[in-house]
Chain A
């Protein structure tokens, strides 16, 4: 533990923690996206899937126990990821107080890499809204516990709500595009033979996850799901 704390003190250590927690978060969004696609199999299947998530681990674990374990891992990963990001942002800002008068010509960095910090804050806002919307139902106009299909149907009946989900998923796509590639660098996973697959993999992860998620709100808007 002392070593981990020591490592975390350095800027590289903070990035390594962001990469490790990022792997957890990417795993989660991938699983979540695939799970959501059950909506295309109808209300029964997706509602049953929600029930399965709560019953996961039974009979060894009780109702919701494994789900809570997973939630705790995700919450901790999310918090570490965000705090390290904020700390590194501050270090970076302090490292260049005086700006260039003729701003730097960007040649290698991408729109995605330069918006990680803003995009990350936006995703944080989205996650809070999304939990209040779809998990607790606090911000949902007609929330039914366990009635996942119904909750989606009502939510995405609103163009504004669906639109917000679309924008958030675009932001997620950009975040993943840089995040996945950056993660390889940060974890030192480079090898001359495989390096050329890193960018395409990052594009693939970003596109598949973003498209998989937006399929649901778009389908409700387009009347494919109703």
Chain B
């Protein structure tokens, strides 16, 4: 299949970027990233600068491959990261627009690669539990209702790719923060720091320059792990409780 790609090219963080048009021949069995690999081989063969894009696992679990494809973070297949998107979803002759995540909190490093470290900062602010290290505790020593365990796992499916921010008209990181707070908040081990966690993670989220959530719901659709906006309601409730009801 022959494709016309409009790819965002930007040499570095503080320079102006622009779209460059490239033509590639792709095979429908290729993944989207393999298609970009073959474009890069061609560019390199012609002594041109290859397109920088981030990738690692290529199996939908590391969260590094986020790209906006035709205005949709991670492209047209729901519940799929860019690395698992296949070219058979496109048609011969298609024009494809490829852009990086656009958020003030995610400055472009190069071409399609953005700096997502503000997400790490949110986790560092409170997305952890304090536990004694050493030998592993006995499995099932702490009883956990099955429904809670399942729900916690749904939240923990977040791979931190930032598609929620990319898709949000406000560039808000609420779905990410809510997932990271909820997967601990649903489990007994997460209770001691639950209030503090909500306060610290939300204040870091705001400080990092993300927008506020206005409940559009675009994040849930863009999420490759299909994480529900119900976790956002949960975080809101936790923050409210932590701010107003706290004893101290």
Binding site for B on A (CB under 8 A): 3-4, 6-7, 9-16, 88, 91-109, 113-114, 116, 178, 181-182, 184-190, 195
Contacts and interface: CB of A to CB of B under 8 A. Distances in A.
Nearest to A110: B216
Interface of B: 6, 8, 19, 68, 70-72, 97, 99, 102-105, 167, 169-172, 174, 202-203, 205-206, 209-218, 220-221, 229-230, 232-240, 243-244, 246
Contact of B211 (A7, A92, A107): A92
B11 to A, nearest CB: 15
Given A91-B211, A104-B72, 7 more contacts: A10-B203, A91-B212, A107-B218, A107-B221, A108-B217, A113-B216, A190-B230
B244 A12 contact: no
Contact of B169 (A97, A109, A188): A109
Contacts of A184: 233
Nearest to A85: B214
Q: Is the interface of B mostly helix, strand, loop or mixed?
A: mixed
Contacts of B97: 101-102
Given A95-B105, A99-B102, A105-B70, A113 B215 contact: yes
B104 to A, nearest CB: 5
Given A88-B214, A114-B216, A94 B209 contact: yes
Given A3-B246, A10-B202, A94 B236 contact: no
A198 to B, nearest CB: 10
30 contacts: A11-B202, A11-B206, A11-B211, A11-B212, A12-B213, A12-B235, A12-B236, A12-B239, A13-B243, A15-B213, A16-B239, A88-B214, A91-B212, A92-B171, A93-B211, A95-B104, A95-B170, A95-B171, A95-B211, A96-B211, A98-B102, A99-B102, A104-B167, A105-B72, A108-B220, A113-B216, A185-B232, A185-B233, A188-B234, A188-B238
A10 B171 contact: no
Contact of B99 (A7, A93, A101, A185): A101
A113 B178 CA distance: 21
B215 A181 contact: yes
Contacts of A101: 6, 8, 19, 97, 99
B216 A108 contact: yes
Contacts of A109: 169, 216-218
Given A3-B246, A102-B99, A95 B210 contact: yes
Contacts of B102: 96, 98-100
A92 B170 contact: yes
